[in-house]
Amino acid sequence: MRRALLIAAAILVIASSSVTLALQRGPVGAPPDLQPTVILISFDGFRWDYPAKAPTPNLRQLMARGVHAENLIPSFPSKTFPNHYTIATGLYPGHHGIVANNIFDPPTGRTFAMAKREEVQNPMWWGGEPIWTLVERAGRASAPLFWPGSEAAHNGVMPHLWKAYDGNVPASARIDQVLTWLDLPAPQRPVFITLYFEDTDSAGHANGPDSPAVRAAIVRDDGYLGALMNGLTRRGILDRVNIVVVSDHGMAPIDDARVIVADDYLSTNDAYISDINPTLGVFPKPGKEDAVYRSLANANPHLKVYRKAETPERWHYRDHPRVPPIIGVADEGWQVLRRATVDAVKAGTIKGPRGTHGYDPMLMSMRATFIAAGPAFKSGVTVPPFENVSIYNVLAKILDVIPAPNDGDPAVARSLLRN
Ligand code: AMP
Ligand code: ZN
Ligand code: ZN
């Protein structure tokens, strides 16, 4: 009896020490065959100055270990879909074709919106060659989770692993999903992974960039990064994976007073409005182009109105057939709304937002975030602001794939990467 007890005790000791060992190693142990890997994280609407607004120990650790830009210059228009897809392709929105969150395509007569799943998954909208497509063509696996463009095939190529966007999936489940993908055996294990979190954008729209709600969202975002880094540490691969934190644009405070009512200057008989607030996309009906332009150009000193060919050169927004013939952009802090929206706010049916973006990328309020660390990146380096078209070349270099022709500046990769 005593002998049996002793054997049982010995088995327990051996079993528990192997459990401890397994825990130290993580679920699968540090994979010896880990290839150069990138986890690209987007915190939507995370303005460049947000790390200083709230405690962000994990972002600060990343900055200390790696590189960061004083700020990241978004592309015009400073909206979510155009900029995420610019980061993925290295092309300006006026070149990749996601020219706004809401788009009209004259050749087909189709309209695109973020919530139209069949359009989001329709390859016709998505030009260029996103980074995950290059990875797949090089015979490796990619896993963009909730990245605009990742739900559509590019020349027939889909990422190995992807999911249809669902804003209700909790942040913890997104992080767990990515860690589970990293636990796959080498051939299936993705070398390019993305994560996306809405928190700072949602809080910024609802409450404004200087609100306590935004500070709370900044802290949550930093916590997501911490949770991911903990998962990587448990697997023994924190310092073997490249983490790139970006945002798509910033956020400017707005109120219900600084409003331009589009209906006062534009009739639906004369023009089709493809996109509104704070930009205005206008397709005049045949023969109405000059009249519509004149009416809008004289509407309000806080609304800048351009013919497509006269938009600022730095926007690179003159060529694509989906760029509307007339484009309006409100001044920082101003909105362009439909009368119905203004009335609904006045009636209290909807609450007017307190923050928005979409303005000229040159404005500091529109500037975004770039922070990265890992074996490919220099350490403890701060670089001057650069445009988000340049991120593509950086990712391609780390992943050892040949980038498609793009709008990025190759000098940016040299300033950020070890070699
Ligand atoms: P914006 O209007 O530019 O502020 O867009 C932000 C919103 O875009 C988020 O709150 C999400 O609802 C939506 N969104 C972000 N990523 C995706 C996606 N991959 N698919 C569909 N909708 C998305
Ligand atoms: Zn956004
Ligand atoms: Zn937004």
SS3 107: coil
Contact partners, residue 31, CB within 8 Å, separation at least 6:
186, 189, 235, 237
pLDDT tens for 275-331 read 999 999 999 999 999 999 999 999 999 999 999 999 999 999 999 999 999 999 999
- Asked if 144 and 80 count as a contact pair (C-beta separation under 8 A), the reply is no
Distance from C-alpha of 149 to C-alpha of 137, rounded to nearest angstrom: 17
Contact 342, 261 (CB under 8 A): yes
Pocket test for ligand 1, best of 76, 78, 80, 112 (most atoms within 8 A of CB): 80
Question: Which numbered ligand comes closest to the C-alpha of 116?
Answer: 1
Distance (Å, rounded) from C-alpha 351 to C-alpha 155?
43
Calculate mean pLDDT across residues 186-191. 95
Cα of 295 vs centre of ligand 2, distance in Å, is 31
Q: Which residues, at least 6 apart from 10, have a Cβ–Cβ distance to it below 8 Å?
A: none
Model confidence at 4, pLDDT cuts 50, 70, 90, reads low
Cα–ligand 3 centroid distance for 348 (angstroms): 22
Q: Do residues 248 and 83 lie in contact, with contact meaning Cβ atoms separated by under 8 Å?
A: yes
CA distance readout (Å), 109 to 112, 113, 274, 296: 10, 13, 11, 24
Active-site residue, 108 included: no
259-352: CATH topology is: Gyrase A; domain 2 (3.30.1360)
Q: Which one of the listed residues 80, 200, 311, 369 is annotated catalytic?
A: 80
Rounded to whole angstroms, what are the CA distances from 196 to 61, 83, 168, 227?
20, 13, 12, 14
pLDDT in tens, 78-128: 999 999 999 999 999 999 999 999 999 999 999 999 999 999 999 999 999
How far apart, in whole angstroms, are the C-alpha atoms of residue 27 and residue 160? 22
Paired tokens of 361 = 């990328």
Quote the CA–CA distance of 83 and 248 in Å, as a whole number.
Answer: 5
The pair of three-digit structure tokens given for residue 241, joined into one six-digit string: 């994976």
Q: HSE (CB half, 13 Å, CA atoms) of 279?
A: 24
Residue 9 has pLDDT above 70, yes or no: no
Which has the closest alpha carbon to 371: 86, 36, 46?
Answer: 46
Is the CB of residue 165 below 6 angstroms from any atom belonging to ligand 1?
yes
**90 Ramachandran zone, left/alpha/beta (phi>0; psi -120 to 50):** left
> Tens of pLDDT along 131-142?
999 999 999 999
**Residue whose entry in the numeric block shows the structure tokens 């027939």:** 156
pLDDT tens digits for range 344-397 = 999 999 999 999 999 999 999 999 999 999 999 999 999 999 999 999 999 999
Is the beta carbon of 198 within 6 A of some atom in ligand 1? yes
Q: DSSP states of 330-386 as a string?
A: EPTT-EEE-HHHHHHHHHTSSPPPSEE--S-TTSGGG-B-EEEESTTB-SSEEE--E
Q: For the chain, what percent of residues have pLDDT higher than 90?
A: 92
Domain ranges in the chain with CATH number 3.30.1360.180: 259-352
Would you say how long the chain is, in residues?
Answer: 419
**What atom of ligand 1 comes closest to residue 150's alpha carbon?**
19
283 pocket-lining for ligand 1 (C-beta < 6 Å): no
Instruction: Give span(s): CATH 3.40.720.10, the chain.
Output: 38-251+362-416
Lookup: tokens for 106: 């004259």
CB of 146 within 6 A of ligand 1: the answer is yes
Kindly state the DSSP code that residue 73 receives in the 8-state scheme: E
User: Given a cut of 70, is residue 177 above it in pLDDT?
Assistant: yes
Count Cα atoms within 13 angstroms, Cβ side, for 399: 32
Question: What tens digit of pLDDT does each residue of 41-92 get?
Answer: 999 999 999 999 999 999 999 999 999 999 999 999 999 999 999 999 999 9
Beta bridge partners of 154: 157
**Average pLDDT of the chain to the nearest whole number:** 94
Burial of 30 (0-12, 13-18, 19+ CB in 10 A): middle
Q: Which CATH number is 38-251+362-416's, of 3.40.50.2300, 1.20.1560.10, 3.40.720.10, 3.30.300.30?
A: 3.40.720.10
Give the model's confidence band at 22: pLDDT under 50 very low, under 70 low, under 90 confident, else very high. Answer: very low
Verify whether ligand 1 is closer than 6 Å to residue 80 (CB atom).
Answer: yes
Which own/partner pairs from 52-59 qualify as long-range (CB within 8 Å, at least 24 positions apart)? 53/214, 53/215, 53/218, 54/215, 54/216, 54/218, 54/219, 54/222, 55/219, 55/222, 56/218, 56/219, 56/222, 57/222, 57/226, 58/222, 58/223, 58/225, 58/226, 58/229, 59/222, 59/225, 59/245, 59/371
- Residue 12 predicted with pLDDT over 90: no
- CA angle, residues 368, 303, 362, in degrees to nearest 5: 25
The closest ligand to the CA of 88 turns out to be: 1
Following DSSP, what letter does each residue of 211-272 receive, concatenated? Answer: SHHHHHHHHHHHHHHHHHHHHHHHTT-GGGSEEEEE-S---EE--SSSEEEGGGT--TTTEE
Query: The whole model's pTM is what?
Result: 0.93
The pairs formed by 290-297 with CB atoms below 8 angstroms and a separation of 24 or more are 292/266, 292/326, 293/326, 295/265, 295/266, 296/265, 296/266, 296/326, 296/328
Is the beta carbon of 316 within 6 A of some atom in ligand 1? no
**Atom 22 of ligand 1: nearest residue by CA position:** 114
Of all helices (H) and strands (E), which one includes residue 13? helix 2-25
